[in-house]
Amino acid sequence: MRLLTALTFLCSLIFCPLALAGITVSPMVLRLSPGEITGDITVTNQDKTHIAYVSIEPKVEQPKKSLNPKELGYLIAPSKLAIPPASSRLVRVRLTQPPNNKERRYEIMVRPVEGDLVFAKTGQQKIRAGIRVIVAYGVILIVPPINPQAKMTLIRHDQELTAFNEGNVTVELTNGQQCKDPHSCQKLPNYHIGPGEKKTIKLLSDIPVTFTQHFASTFSEIHSN
């Protein structure tokens, strides 16, 4: 989740109604399985009174980059939502370019049309105005290669772990733990490590680490030294 403070406008309390409550988005990482060309994102309106108006759009780094779905690589439908109070809606993501030999990653921005109104003060004066604070969510879409292969290496040195992904697909490390014995284990956070990426992880103790590695619908246990 990304907090984008948008100074969209200063406004009088008389003319600016309070904004709607927030939304939630799931999953934050949409990982397609090999052969899949569609996936769903669930957007939930947490407000029990107001309709949530939501925009869903691709995130592009270059301002002039084409948003044509065929050139972009995927299609989002719908791109606008009006979600009733305490309800959820699905957003369908469909590939417009088939998988190839390399993993592809995209980012999809999900944000309410309006944000919460935050009131401002300066010195001893109260200003009857505010700014809009918009909470936006960046959903990562991962398209696996045709022949996904994971090669994850875990190397521990004292209380530091290096995880190196030498494969061609993103690996999710879950259920991480360090156990002195079966009844004394310390849990570790989950991690996503892309192809060719290396991550250094600070550990709680200097004992071996165990993770479950997940890629392309495959699960297996992996251990450090």
With tokens 């570790």, the residue in question is: 188
Mode of pairing for the β-strands spanning 152-157 and 160-165: antiparallel
Q: How far apart are CA 156 and CA 159, in angstroms?
A: 7
Res 76 pLDDT > 90: yes
Can you read off the two tokens belonging to residue 132? 């809009």
H helices of the chain, in order, are 69-72
| Predicted local distance difference test score (pLDDT) of residue 150 | 84
Q: What is the pLDDT of residues 131-170, one digit of tens each?
A: 556 678 999 999 999 888 889 999 999 999 999 999 999 9
Q: How far apart are CA 109 and CA 76, in angstroms?
A: 11
Instruction: Name the DSSP class of 33.
Output: P
Partnered with residue 157 across adjacent β-strands are: 160
Contact 218, 170 (CB under 8 A): no
- Dihedral (C-alpha) 215, 216, 220, 223: value to the nearest 10 degrees? -20
Q: For all residues of the chain together, what is the average pLDDT?
A: 82
Q: Which of 119, 115, 121, 120 is nearest to 133 (CA)?
A: 115
Query: HSE (CB half, 13 Å, CA atoms) of 144?
Result: 25
Q: What are the backbone angles phi and psi of residue 217, rounded to the nearest 5°? A: 65, 15
Domains along the chain? Answer: 2-143 (2.60.40.10), 152-223 (2.60.40.10)
Name the residue among 130, 145, 139 with its Cα closest to residue 55.
139
Q: How far is CA 183 from CA 53, 180, 186, in A?
A: 49, 8, 10
DSSP state of 115: -
pLDDT value of residue 199: 93
At 110, the pLDDT band (50, 70, 90 cuts) reads: very high
- Whether the pLDDT of residue 188 is over 50: the answer is yes
Q: Residue 93 — very low, low, confident or very high, per pLDDT cuts 50/70/90?
A: very high
Low-confidence winner among 20-24, 39-43, 98-102, 217-221 (lowest mean pLDDT): 20-24
Residues 16-53 pLDDT 10s: 333 334 899 999 999 998 889 999 999 999 999 999 99
- The string of pLDDT tens digits covering residues 194-213 is 999 999 999 988 899 999 99
